[in-house]
Chains A and B, each alone.
Chain A
Amino acid sequence: MVKLLFFGRLSDYANGVPTQIQASTAAEIRQQLVTEHPLLATELSEPQVLVAVNKQIVDWQQALQDGDEVAFLPPVTGG
C-alpha cells in the first residue's frame, strides 16, 4: 500500500478518495481513479502536474515501494 497526498487545489477534488491504495506507479494510481473520481483523474492528467514520492519529485513511471508517500501537486505558473 502507498499513502496518497493531494496538495493545493487538487484536494478540492479528492473527497472520498482513500488515503492508501495498492499501486505500482503514480500513473497507475491516476488510472485507478478514473472510474470513481473522474474529476480528480482529469485534473491529474493536466500538463505539468508534479509527482513526489517521499518528497522527491519523480517520474510518473517510477516504481513505488510499500509504505511510500505519493504526493500530487497541481501546476503553479502564474505570477
Chain B
Amino acid sequence: MSLSDEQFLRYSRHLLMADIGEQGQQTLLQSHVLIVGLGGLGCPVALYLAAAGIGRLSLCDADTVDITNLQRQILYKTEDCDQLKVDCAKTALQQLNPAIDVVAHASEISAEILELGADIVVDCTDNLAARQLLNCHCYQRATPLVSASAIGWEGQLVSFDFKANRRLCYNCIIDENAGDPTMNCANAGVVGPVLGAMGSLQAATVIRMLLGQFDQHGEMQRYDAKTGRWLYLTASPKPLCAICATE
C-alpha cells in the first residue's frame, strides 16, 4: 500500500528524513499504541502520536475533565468540564488527524484492554499500582512499555523493550512492596510544561521504538525543571524480582 497524495503532504516532514521516509511512515500508520491515562502526560503523548500518524490509538482513562486539569492537560477546553476525558480526547485527536483510528476506553485499565494487542503501551498513569500492573502485563506479553511520571518541577522517564530484553523491569527499580509516596500531583502540585517535556519524550520514544531505533532498555532519565538539570541513570535487574526473575 502506498501513501495517498494527502498523506504525502501531511507527513512530508517525516518523509524528508532518511531514517523515517515512506517506509517508516508506513510502519507508523500500521502501528497500534495504547495510552493509559489521559492526564498531563497522556495529552501531549496522544497529540504527538496522532499528528505523527500512528494508525491506531487506544485511549484508556475513567475520569471526566475537571477545571483543575486545564492548567496542564492541553487536550481539553473549558467547555469540556464534566465530560469523559477519553471522549473529549478522541474528538480533538480526530479533528487533528481524521484518518487514524482512535478507540476510547472510559474505564480503569484492565487485562481485557491490555489484551487488545497494542504494539507499545505508554504509561501516563498517576499512581504506582497502575504502573506496576502495566509493567507486569507488558512483561508477560513481551510488549514494550514507555513509562513517565512527574511532580512539582520534576519529571522521570524509563522505557523497557520487553521483546528484546527479558531481564530488568519497572519492579526492579521501584519496589512494588514499598508503597506510594505521600506526595502526589493532587496534594503537591505540578508545573504543566514539565508534563509536556516528559510526554513529548514518551512520544519520541514510541516513534523511535516503532522504527526499531531504541536501545535504552531500563535507562532512567530525570529532569529538574527548577534547575534545568538532567540526570541519566542506569539500573540492574533485581536478583529476586517477582516479575522478571522468574523465567
Contacts and interface: CB of A to CB of B under 8 A. Distances in A.
A57 B180 CA distance: 19
A77 B184 contact: yes
Interface in A10-53: 11, 46-48, 50, 52
Contacts of A52: 231, 233
A73 interface: yes
Nearest to B157: A76
A8 B233 CA distance: 14
B126 A77 contact: yes
B149 interface: yes
B130 to A, nearest CB: 9
B164 interface: no
A77 B175 CA distance: 13
B131 A48 contact: no
Given A55-B231, A56-B236, A7 B222 contact: yes
A77 B234 contact: no
Given A48-B178, A48-B181, A79-B150, A73 B231 contact: yes
Given A47-B179, A47-B180, A47-B181, A79 B234 contact: no
B181 A55 contact: no
Nearest to A12: B226
Interface stretch (B5-13, B35-43, B88-96): B35-43
B183 A75 contact: yes
Nearest to B184: A78
B190 interface: yes
A8 B234 contact: no
Contact of B232 (A47, A55, A74, A79): A55
A78 B231 CA distance: 19
Contacts of A78: 40, 126, 149-151, 184-185, 188, 190
Contact of A74 (B123, B154, B155): B154
Nearest to B178: A47
A4 interface: no
A55 to B, nearest CB: 5
19 contacts: A7-B229, A46-B181, A47-B180, A48-B128, A56-B234, A58-B236, A74-B183, A76-B150, A76-B151, A76-B155, A77-B128, A77-B149, A77-B180, A77-B181, A78-B126, A78-B190, A79-B37, A79-B185, A79-B195
Interface of B: 37, 39-42, 123-128, 131, 148-156, 173-175, 178-185, 188, 190, 195, 220, 222, 224, 226-227, 229, 231-236
CB-CB nearest 4 A-B residue pairs = A78-B185, A75-B181, A79-B126, A47-B178
